[in-house]
Structure 1
């Protein structure tokens, strides 16, 4: 396990779960929220699901066996809860409104603007993909998971992950080309 939180697989009753939960939220909170958002396409739902994910992790902390990374474990919980939400009777489609913040420290204003526009264009395109393509792209490129980890996380074969990543890239290229033609 490559996480710094390898100690989780050795937890026994009596550990300070509150402290561990804070560590998990600090280290993986943004990843969990982003993944929930990319699956559901709703910021308000991602807020709620993130809380539910960490509550579930808190409640099942002693059952973590270290068969995968802590990040994969949390993203699996996130995926399952997000899909459950999408299948629930309360799901309603809402217009996507979002914002992504540039991670540059202090570049020229034009660079910030162009970077934000380009990032926004890419994320808007990713969000248009069907969920099965969207999630493998996010897990692969944004979270840097290996195809083997993604396969285990979403319960498909590694070959399926590879083909979905390939098809997702192809669809992304088609969508971006279409958008460029319209401009």
Structure 2
């Protein structure tokens, strides 16, 4: 079982390059059979994976399962990791495939709701009154308005702090494409915020 308790070692306000080098070294040591390195590797990247799969899947409720699946896949594939890219970029590529596979699985096995009004049931199940909860919901709503590819590029680079080159590797596209998607995402978000802040016209 993967523990959800995490240090904040991947804080993007610090030296991301040195952090990534340490994480990559842990991944290589874990590949060689060091159990402590496995624990360091999982703890260092668990939060990043959770955030990424939650945004990519647009389903925060499924994030834990998707993160678990990602690490199970990664630990089973460590013998193929050679350190040519950062371990973080490598792991997020696996997370991306896990989300895509979950979409495919869900498409073949549609789930039915027992509740007569499933939308109301979902809303009532959401937490309320938590610090920052409303802001988090507002951010998710704004990001949900973006096309999938732009949202992914924005989350990878602006929320998770990945360099554009690594974000391109995770997304399997050119660096210039990532830069373009992020720029367009920023423009859309600014426009959406402006619409939100605009005063509502009073009816005559």
The bucket for the TM-score relative to the shorter chain is: 0.7 to 0.9
Alignment partner of 1:129 out of 125, 129, 146: 146
Query: Structure 2 matches for 1:54-133, cutoff 5 A?
Result: 54-88=71-105, 89=107, 90=109, 117-133=134-150
TM-aligned CA distance change 1:149 to 1:129, over 3 Å? same
Higher relative contact order, structure no. (Cα contacts within 8 Å, ≥ 6 residues apart): 1
Q: Which residue of 1 aligns with 2:167?
A: 150
* Structure with greater Cα Rg: 2
* Gapped regions of structure 1 (runs ≥ 5): 103-111
Do residues 9 (structure 1) and 36 (structure 2) align? no
Do residues 161 (structure 1) and 192 (structure 2) align? no
TM-aligned CA distance change 1:137 to 1:12, over 3 Å? closer
Q: Runs of 4 or more off by more than 6 Å in structure 1?
A: 94-102
What is the CA-CA distance between 1:45 and the residue it aligns to? Answer: 1.9
What is the CA-CA distance between 1:10 and the residue it aligns to? Answer: 5.6
What is the CA-CA distance between 1:81 and the residue it aligns to? Answer: 1.1
Q: Which residue of 2 aligns with 1:24?
A: 41
Compute the RMSD of aligned alpha carbons.
2.9
Q: Which residue of 1 aligns with 2:190?
A: 173
3-state SS of paired residue (1:60): helix
TM-aligned CA distance change 1:91 to 1:72, over 3 Å? farther
TM-aligned CA distance change 1:33 to 1:100, over 3 Å? farther
3-state SS of paired residue (2:185): helix
TM-score normalised by the chain length of structure 2: 0.70
3-state SS of paired residue (2:198): helix
What is the CA-CA distance between 1:54 and the residue it aligns to? Answer: 0.6
Distance 2:144 2:82 in 1: 33
Q: Which residue of 2 aligns with 1:106?
A: none
TM-score normalised by the chain length of structure 1: 0.78
What is the CA-CA distance between 1:126 and the residue it aligns to? Answer: 1.3
Q: Spell out, residue by residue over 1:49-90, the C-alpha distance to the aligned partner (whole angstroms, 9 max, x if none).
A: 111111111111121111111111111111111122223324
TM-aligned CA distance change 1:7 to 1:86, over 3 Å? same
